[in-house]
Amino acid sequence: MSGQNSDPMGELKRRAAEEAAAMVQDGMAVGLGTGSTAALMIDALGRRWADGLRFVGIPTSERSAEQARALGITLVDFSTHAQLDLAIDGADEVERGSLDLIKGLGGALLREKIVAAAARRFVVIVDEGKLVDHLGSRSPVPVEVTPFGWESTARQLGELGARVALRIKRDGDLFVTDGGNLILDCTFGPIEDPRALEAAIGDIVGVIESGLFVHRTSEVIVAGRQGLTRLVAA
Ligand SMILES: O=C(CO)[C@H](O)[C@H](O)COP(=O)(O)O
């Protein structure tokens, strides 16, 4: 067995990741996303780094920091780089048309959102299975909350119409974010007005941030069976 084309979608995701990595230019400050697709992009940046490209990265998770460091990529923080040229990340859902997102199934939504908000351009890489007509069609909205009083925060999220589940790891331990917080996965079903829901979630005391990314995306690179497609925000 040759192994070639045994994972055609994986190969397309790798190409999408490489296309996004090709947008990085010498001297840029770049936000490095989290997740399996973002990891392919960081690998691609590692190859470009080995070829002589020089830039600085701000990682969105300890995982991505570790990966980038192992590739020799220089990492910085917001104390020296309060604004980024570009941030590249994956997503759990992308709404066709608006390019609004759900992120955070990997648990890095807070740092991901801070990095996206600080970037002049925010580029998202996904496979075509992540495209939806309405956010919430398949994915819950992850919400990062303070451990103190999480039960009360969960009750109030429930009052917004969500089925709320505290995120637990496969080994049965609580999932704790890089910032030491908890995640409540909130299933709303298809969301009519993501902007209004993002605001309503953000109004609840105890909520740190939600995985709704509204009006933040500059461009989406979609890996599909027919090849790569680039979607640009209207
Ligand atoms: O938001 C994220 C992590 O918090 C990821 O970008 C999202 O979960 C997509 O991951 P993957 O590329 O593995 O499907």
Ligand 1: distance of its center to the CA of 154 in Å? Answer: 23
Catalytic residue among 112, 144, 198, 209: 112
pLDDT of 233: 81
**Residue from 105, 144, 181 to probe ligand 1 pocket by mutation (most atoms less than 8 Å from CB):** 105
162: in domain:
yes
Q: What is the Å distance from ligand 1's center to 92 Cα?
A: 6
Please check the confidence at residue 82 and state whether its pLDDT lies above 60.
yes
* pLDDT given at position 28: 98
Q: Are residues 159 and 75 in the same domain?
A: no
* Structure token digits, residue 171: 């080994």
Within a domain: 41: yes
In this prediction, residues 104-128 reach a mean pLDDT of 98
Three-state SS for 48? helix
Cα-Cα end-to-end distance for the chain: 45
Mean of the per-residue pLDDT values of the chain: 96
Classify residue 191: in a domain, yes or no.
yes
Would you state the pLDDT for residue 85? Answer: 98
- Please answer whether residues 31 and 116 qualify as being in contact, where contact means their C-beta atoms are separated by less than 8 angstroms: yes
pLDDT score of 4 more than 70: no
Whether 14 is covered by a domain: the verdict is yes
Q: Give residue 3's pLDDT.
A: 45
Average pLDDT over residues 106-116: 98
Residue 36 burial class via C-beta count within 10 angstroms: exposed 0-12, middle 13-18, buried 19 and up: exposed
How many angstroms does the Cα of residue 1 sit away from the middle of ligand 1? 31
Q: What is the average per-residue pLDDT within 166-190?
A: 98
Asked if 185 and 74 sit in the same domain, the reply is no
Mean pLDDT, range 226-230, rounded to an integer: 94
Residue nearest atom 12 in ligand 1 by C-alpha distance = 37
pLDDT band at 49 (very low <50, low <70, confident <90, very high): very high
Atom of ligand 1 nearest to the CA of 105: 8
- pLDDT on residue 80: 97
Residues 85, 182: one domain?
no
| CATH number of the domain where residue 95 is located | 3.40.50.1360
Helix (H/G/I), strand (E/B), else coil: 103: coil
pLDDT at 6: 74
**What is the C-alpha separation between 95 and 223, in angstroms, rounded?**
15
pLDDT at 9: 81
Which atom, in ligand 1's list, is nearest to the CA of 39? 12
112 is catalytic: yes
Rounded to two decimals, the pTM is 0.96
Confidence (pLDDT) at 5: 62
Question: By alpha-carbon position, which residue is closest to atom 6 of ligand 1?
Answer: 90
- pLDDT tens digits for 137-152? 999 999 999 999 999 9
Q: What is the mean pLDDT of residues 16-33?
A: 98
Residues 85-95: pLDDT tens digits? 999 999 999 99
Residue 228 is given by DSSP the state: E
Q: How many domains does the structure of the chain reveal?
A: 2
